[in-house]
Each structure stands twice: as structure tokens, then as C-alpha cells.
Structure 1
Amino acid sequence: MPSQELVDKIKDRLPDDFSRRQLEGALAVLTQDNNPARANQSASSFRELTAHVLELMAPEAEVMRCQWFKQDANVEGPTRRQRALYTCRGGLTDAFLKTKLGIKPETLHSGLGPAFQELNKRTHVRPDTELTTEQEIEEFAENALAALDDLFVTIDEMKDRVATALSHALSGAATRAFINQTISELDEISGKYETGGVLIDDPEVLSVDADRIRCRFTGTVSVTLMAGGKHDPVDFKESFPFECTTSAPASTPEDFDLDDTVIDVDTSSWRE
């Protein structure tokens, strides 16, 4: 049997109880010493497990709505690789990936390719490669789990690459969205104010799906608070930390929806 550490690592990545039961079944059948087809049955369970997990991560209807989706003539609905791609890029278009993020879509395909090849290799048992000895069975189980883990790791790497590039590319758009919003916390402490520089130090992509992206930005905003009367105006220059959450269409990620933009500015230092 494979190492418990690897089994636990895979279990932590599985999205529901059904997939965890699938994993347990794929491993349990390997312990049936009197079952000559145990490796074949386990391999089949591993393939079903992978398909189920990808279907949950990337539902068919969501993937097929993406502009980049092209139906494979040999498959009904999305392929496993297309589902994996969806988890990395959602509905972001090829043009946006290339021109705004500097990522060639084909590099995402090629990045996932080896992981799928290894998974296919490790979860197929054919008559001419029938596994019979305990050592062969154990190696099969270890390799199959390692290949599934490698697929998860590769998806994470591709997803992080896109998310990092996206979060930095959208910082400017987030700044514009920030400046164009009325900020209630500043209204409360000053009847009139002007927003100056906005420093974003922690851009984060919360989600990317077929239709929208959601982002969170934190940082510091410099403002001029205006007080006093017409003939004796007084200006106070201050800086406050803020958090901004917003969303935009996946087809035009730089067009943040101001109606869905929420800005929280921490003005506690001024009140103190």
C-alpha cells in the first residue's frame, strides 16, 4: 500500500465524501489477494475519481460558456484537460492572457500535459501488463497516487501563475475604481475630502469563473481632509489603510463593477 502520508495528502485535496470513498475503494480492492483483477479495478476507480473531482472543480456548463472552449469531436462535453484549464483561467480570453498578462494560452496546455500523461500511464492496466506480485501492486498504487498528486500540484502552479499576473495587472483598474467611489468612512470625519495617492500592497484574486472575476485589494490611501469655513479653510493630510473588494466580467477584467465595489477605510487613527 502507498504511504499514509501520500494518502492523507490526496484526501485533503478531495472535495467531497464521495471522492474520498472512491479513493478508499480504489485502495481497498488492492488488498484482495484472491482477486486477479484487483489492479485493473483499482485503476478504473482512480480514473473515475479523477473525472469526478475535475467535474466538481469545473462544471460542464461553466466550461462550455467560456470563449476559449472548443468542442473536441471525440468527446461529449469538456475534456479532462479543458476542465483543468478552467480551474486555472476561468473565462479569461486568449487575448487578455496574451496582451495583458503576458501568458501564452498554449503554455497552460503544455504545462498540464505531462501531468495528464503520467496520470493516464499510471491508471491503466492492460492484459499484457497484468500486475500479479505484491511489489508490482504496491508500486502501482504509489505511482497512481503520486500521479494524481502531481496533477493537483500542476493545477495549483498554473492557477497561481495566472492569479499573480492578473492581480498585478488589475491594480491600476482597482485604483481607478477606488477613486471613483464615495467612501462613507471619510464622509463621516470630513464633509469634504480629496483622494490622493492609492498604494496597493496586497492584490488578491478571490475567484475566476466563466462569467466574472472577484478581487480583493488592501493598501493605503492618502487623502486631504478639508475643514473650516470659506474664509479660514484648514486642510489635513492623512493616510489610512483600506480594503477593497470588487468584481468585473471575465471577458473584460479591467471594467470593475462600481455597484459591486465595497471599500472599507480604517479611520480609527484619526478618531483616536
Structure 2
Amino acid sequence: MDLQDLLPDDLSRDLLSGSLRAAQDTENPVRMHLSAAGLRELFGHLLHTLAPDEEVRKCSWFEQAKDTPTVTRRQRATYATQGGFSDEFIASLGVNVDELHKEAIDAITELNKATHVRPQTLQQDPEAIDAFIAEAVGALEGLLISFSECRSSVQNALEKSVYESMMNALVTENFDTISSLSGRGYEVDLWIDDDEVEIVSISAENVRVRFSGIAPVTLQYGPKNDAAEISHDFPFWMVFEAKVETPTNLKLVDHFFDDSGWFE
């Protein structure tokens, strides 16, 4: 996946592309330092956008650092990765992103240093500049991968619970809709694509999961001994929510059952 695709918004993408353009301007004697300033702002924007102070402080794992009254970069990186999930739950999924976080924090420190230009710190060696930018961008990619890997692991861990919750909710929530289309009865045989489970959000308190799929329904008409059957595929989606303390205890919070194709 392209690094641009891992970024959450247009500002992030503009900061990345602008920083790399500055780094590639070989006619500019301060190109590394200008690029470092842009990349530093990109890291800062990501961590503050994905991990607001008030949300980080709500997490059970949060402890105020003794050397600062604010939320630390590492705590922001942790929140952006796992939200309010406990370290124990994340460890149980086999996720270990500590090294990726360390590389990102170290990169931010080096970027901060590089933005202060003095005669003795001006860097104009092409190889050193390329290596510096490559290391910073690599750390950025690692940070974004840590977010993605954790979400993927949470998604895999919850798939069974999501499927069971969906099976229970699908017919219950749409019983009247399906019944109104059938003369005598119906049968539902779900077709499921594993890729249709998506972690929508992980906050300090909740995780939201979206499930979408196709519900092939066989509608039955006429007398039992001479019933006619008509099959139709109904697209649907459902959103479930659970507390981070009990992530498998999913509750349906929103859903949509698309019967428009039947009437068309």
C-alpha cells in the first residue's frame, strides 16, 4: 500500500508531498531542514488528530507522566494504535508495536533538532540528507502500520462474535420487512465475505464494528403442498458497538436492510 493511502486526511497528504518536494530540491541549500520542519508537523498533526488529549486521558492504561503535565507522544501513539483497549488485551492478540512507536518518537526528536539551523548544523551532504529523510519517512510508515496492524488484529479477534451477533440481529431486526414480502414464509441463507467486517472506530471507551453482506432470501407463496418460491438477494449492513473492557459483548446500534431491488 502506498504511504499516501495510509494517511487519514488531505492535510497529512499535503504535508508529506510538500516535505518530500522540499527534500528533492537539490538547488536549495537548506532543503533537509525545510523538509524536516514539514515532516515534524506531519507527525504532530497525526498524533494530535488521532489521539485528542481528553480521549487519551480517559483510557484505563493512562498514567500522567511525571516530567510533563501534558499527554506524551508515546501515549498518543498508543491511543492511536489501541484506543482504550488494555495492554493485556492487545498482547493477547499477539500485537507488539513498541519498537515501531519508539522509532517514530526518536524520528520526531531528530526532526525537531534538524529544524534549528545554525552554521555548524547546516547539512548539505546529499547522502546524509537522503539517509535522514529516508529514516524519518520509514519511521512514519512504521507508525501508520502499527495503527493498521492493531485494527486488523482486533478485527480478526472479534469476527466470530460479530458473525454471531449479526445472525441473531438480522432476522430479528428485519422480520417484519421480510415477512411483508412473503406470502407464506421464507428462508434466509447468508453469504458472507470475510472482508466485509470493518473496525469503524476504537475510542477510549468503545469499539465500533461494521458488518455488511448479502442475505439470499427464499420467499414462499401459496399452499404448503404446492408452494411457489422466489429467491432474491438483499444487501445489508449492521454496526455493532462494545465496551473496550468487554469487546465481544456487541450491541447492535445501527443497521440497514436494502429491499429496493425487490420492488424494482
The answer for the alignment partner of 1:119 in structure 2 is: 107
The answer for the alignment partner of 2:211 in structure 1 is: 216
Tell which deviates more after alignment, 232-241 or 177-186.
Answer: 232-241
The answer (yes or no) to whether the contact 1:14–1:20 under 8 Å persists in 2 is no
Distance 2:254 2:3 in 1: 37
Residues 146-185 of structure 1: pairs in structure 2 closer than 5 A: 146-183=138-175, 185=177
- Cα RMSD of the aligned pairs, angstroms, is 4.2
Distance 1:26 1:238 in 2: 55
The answer for the alignment partner of 2:237 in structure 1 is: 244
Among 40, 47, 63, the residue aligned to 1:47? 40
The answer (yes or no) to whether the contact 2:101–2:143 under 8 Å persists in 1 is no
SS of residue matched to 1:200: coil
The answer for the alignment partner of 1:74 in structure 2 is: 67
Q: Give aligned pairs, total.
A: 252
Quote the offset at 1:172 in angstroms: 1.4
The answer (yes or no) to whether the contact 2:43–2:108 under 8 Å persists in 1 is no
Quote the offset at 1:236 in angstroms: 4.1
Distance 2:250 2:154 in 1: 18
Residue deviations 1:127-186 (CA, integer Å, cap 9, x gap) = 9x9454422233323332233233223332333333333334421122112132234542
**1:15 to 1:250, Cα distance in 2 relative to 1, 3 A:** same
The answer (yes or no) to whether the contact 1:63–1:86 under 8 Å persists in 2 is yes
Q: Which runs of 5+ in 2 are unaligned?
A: none
**1:175 to 1:149, Cα distance in 2 relative to 1, 3 A:** same
The answer for the alignment partner of 2:93 in structure 1 is: 103
**1:165 to 1:193, Cα distance in 2 relative to 1, 3 A:** same
Distance 1:55 1:171 in 2: 34
Distance 2:233 2:19 in 1: 55
Query: Percent identity of the aligned residues?
Result: 22
The answer (yes or no) to whether the contact 1:208–1:214 under 8 Å persists in 2 is yes
Q: Which runs of 5+ in 1 are unaligned?
A: 1-7
The answer (yes or no) to whether the contact 2:165–2:250 under 8 Å persists in 1 is yes
Letter in 2 for 1:20: D
Letter in 2 for 1:112: L
Distance 1:255 1:191 in 2: 36
Quote the offset at 1:54 in angstroms: 1.4
Letter in 1 for 2:197: E
The answer for the alignment partner of 1:142 in structure 2 is: 134
Letter in 2 for 1:216: F
Give the TM-score normalised by structure 2: 0.69
The answer for the alignment partner of 1:89 in structure 2 is: 82
Letter in 2 for 1:215: R
The answer for the alignment partner of 2:257 in structure 1 is: 263
Distance 2:99 2:123 in 1: 34
Quote the offset at 1:215 in angstroms: 0.7
Quote the offset at 1:24 in angstroms: 3.4
The answer (yes or no) to whether the contact 1:240–1:266 under 8 Å persists in 2 is no
Distance 2:243 2:170 in 1: 20
SS of residue matched to 1:51: helix
Quote the offset at 1:235 in angstroms: 7.2
SS of residue matched to 1:78: coil
Distance 2:170 2:88 in 1: 26
Give the TM-score normalised by structure 1: 0.68
Letter in 2 for 1:46: L
